[in-house]
A and B are shown apart, each in its own frame.
Chain A
Amino acid sequence: MKHRLQFTAKKLLRMALLLLGVSFASFLLMCASPLDPLQTNVGQTALGSMSREQVEKLEEYWGVDAPPAERYLGWLKDVLHGDFGVSLLYRQPVLEVIGQRLANSVWLLLAAWIISGVLGLALGAAAGAFRGRWPDRLIRGYCLLISSTPAFWLAILLLLVFSVWLGWLPVGLSVPAGVDAAAVTLADRLRHAVLPALTLSITGVANIALHTREKMADVMESDYVLFARARGESERSILLRHGLRNVALPAVTLQFASISEVIGGSVLVEQVFSYPGLGQAAVTAGLGSDLPLLLGITVITSAIVFGGNLAADLLYGAVDPKIRRRAAGR
């Protein structure tokens, strides 16, 4: 147990260091940008509605007087106190904006993440079990096609088919336009989330399916599957009992480690569907030179990604009997 705790602590420390690195690198990139938030139009109007104190802080971070490292330390100090600054576009604290946007995105991301994981695992397992035969060819072809398709174009296609052509689903946003917030039902929200979630699920499948396929093909050629067969286990039982058992752990680990892809995809897909989530906020912030917000979003999404990696590491230890038994023995 002590071993596990040490392992976790080490990983957490590494994660914290990486987050520091991400924030510093992003900060530097923004400092290097020729776009000055205090000079752009958005900034100009925003400044008028800000308190004296807030404006001073902005100047302190983004102004040109102090060297970047000094400005970064000032920003970091505030962040450690829970203050990510104020968004220029939304004129609200950055954390509040991120909170609202994340609340919109989280179900979308989660649904896509789970669906693509399960579907990818199933397709990959099937392809590996039927290696070289038509289900395998079909699934591999699908993966090649999907991984060569830009997510935003797929989103446009689905929009064309289901919203414009068939008229089954709404064109965009997360709620019906012009309806009072109180009158929006859960069904409305679901209807608006279907297409974005579908797009993200479809694109997320390729990676995990291909990895699972390789793994499954190895398992099906392993000695223990041969032995199971020799002992009269049916192919079905072999696939379910031995095959899935042995490919599930790598697949789940991979899925945890690939959260960054779902988030990346959501940036594009939310833009196409005008879905007011975190990804769209990132694009808006970037286009409008809302650097405090963009920086906040970068740090928060990286934290989520690193959290996913950490979860993958911990999960491996919790599920793999070798590591689990060793830990219990101590």
Chain B
Amino acid sequence: MRGEKQYSENRRQSTILFLIAAAVILAAVTVSGILLEERGMETDFSRTNLIPSVQYLFGTDWMGRDMLARTLAGLSLSIRIGLLTAVVSAGTALVLGTAAAVLGKKADAVISWCIDLVMGIPHILLVMLISIACGRGFAGVVAGVSLSHWPSLARVIRGEVLQLKSAPYILAAEKLGVSRFDIIRRHMAPHILPQFLTGMILLFPHAILHEASVTFLGFGLSSEQPAIGVILSESMRYLTTGKWWLALFPGLALVLTVILFAMLGERLRRLLDPASAHE
């Protein structure tokens, strides 16, 4: 028994270490991207189409822009948009999920119907539609991604709150005359919060991927901005001429960032909710 406890204690520590490391890396990417944004836009026709080298790790493009700086700036933009949209999305999910569970049958039916409706349109199409409605650009992407990602988390929260509502100890607390607010604060929030937090972090990867996808298709950030979607979309024109590095490195960097977020969410989920972790 003691060995097991030791093991889980070790695991907890390594998880926390991982969380810190991942957060530091992501923060570093975000900050360096902001600082490098100017450099990523600098054109220099004396160094066009350079293959990756020690000086230009990711190479340069047809306008002589440093791809490393562009990639970092793009990632930074992606992460910031991802954070913003995931927070908005998760907030929407929390409000609607709780409302569906608490406000009675009619509200539940309406909200559940809305969830089904949003899930019935392929994600990418919905993001496109909303982005068009908002006139594309930054506002379009943010609105599109935030408004299309809440349904699954809302469902989870609705289910959780419903279950909690009928839990014996909550019913007992009600009978004992504990105030509604206190029940929510002392008994419900501690259960919902971990679910909500991990749900939110696990939304980041989706949000980032959809932002990049929609931008790639031309419905997102404008082509002047060094977004990953823009970089990859531009690289398409130079693929057949063998400029592989224009597509490879920015994409790879995006994948790594998303993986880091996904692992972060997964580890956090295990840390906060050990029972759900299937190892």
A residues engaging B (CB < 8 A)? 17-18, 21-22, 25-26, 29-30, 32-35, 132, 144-145, 147-153, 156-157, 159-160, 164-165, 171, 214, 217, 260-261, 263-265, 267-268, 271-272, 282-283, 286-287, 289, 294, 297-298, 301-302, 305-306, 309
Contacts and interface: CB of A to CB of B under 8 A. Distances in A.
Contacts of B212: 150
A164 B239 contact: yes
A18 B133 CA distance: 21
A29 B259 CA distance: 33
Interface string B9-47: 000000000000000000000000000000000000000
Contacts of A305: 120-122
B125 A25 contact: no
B163 interface: no
A157 B120 contact: no
A144 B262 contact: yes
Contacts of A264: 122-125
B247 A147 contact: no
Contacts of A268: 124, 213, 216-217
B197 to A, nearest CB: 20
B113 A21 contact: yes
B205 to A, nearest CB: 6
Contacts of A17: 113
A18 B113 CA distance: 8
A29 B133 contact: yes
A153 B278 contact: no
A30 B262 contact: no
A156 B113 contact: no
Interface string B104-117: 00000000010011
B258 interface: yes
B119 interface: yes
A32 B133 contact: yes
Contacts of B209: 148, 150
Contacts of B216: 150, 152, 268, 271
Contacts of B279: 132
Contact of A156 (B116, B134, B251, B262): B251
Contact of A22 (B121, B132, B258): B121
A108 to B, nearest CB: 15
B240 A171 contact: yes
Contacts of B248: 157, 160
A289 to B, nearest CB: 8
A26 B217 CA distance: 19
A156 B235 contact: yes
Say what secondary structure dominates the interface of chain A: helix
A66 to B, nearest CB: 18
Contacts of A153: 232, 247, 251, 254-255
B254 A150 contact: yes
A149 B263 contact: no
Given A283-B128, A283-B218, A286-B128, 8 more contacts: A32-B133, A32-B134, A33-B133, A132-B279, A147-B205, A148-B262, A153-B254, A157-B247
Nearest to A35: B132
Contacts of B129: 26, 29-30, 286, 294, 298
A77 B117 CA distance: 21
A144 B260 CA distance: 10
A296 to B, nearest CB: 12
Interface in B77-132: 113, 116-117, 119-125, 128-130, 132
Nearest to A31: B133
Contacts of A22: 117, 120-121
Contacts of B258: 148-149
A30 B121 contact: no
Contacts of B124: 264-265, 267-268
A255 to B, nearest CB: 15
A21 B117 contact: yes
19 contacts: A21-B113, A25-B117, A30-B129, A33-B132, A150-B212, A150-B251, A150-B254, A152-B216, A152-B232, A153-B251, A156-B247, A164-B239, A171-B240, A260-B123, A263-B122, A287-B217, A287-B218, A294-B132, A301-B122
Contacts of A282: 125, 128
B7 interface: no
A260 B205 contact: no
B171 interface: no
Nearest to A151: B213
Contacts of A157: 247-248, 251
Contacts of A286: 128-129, 132, 217, 219
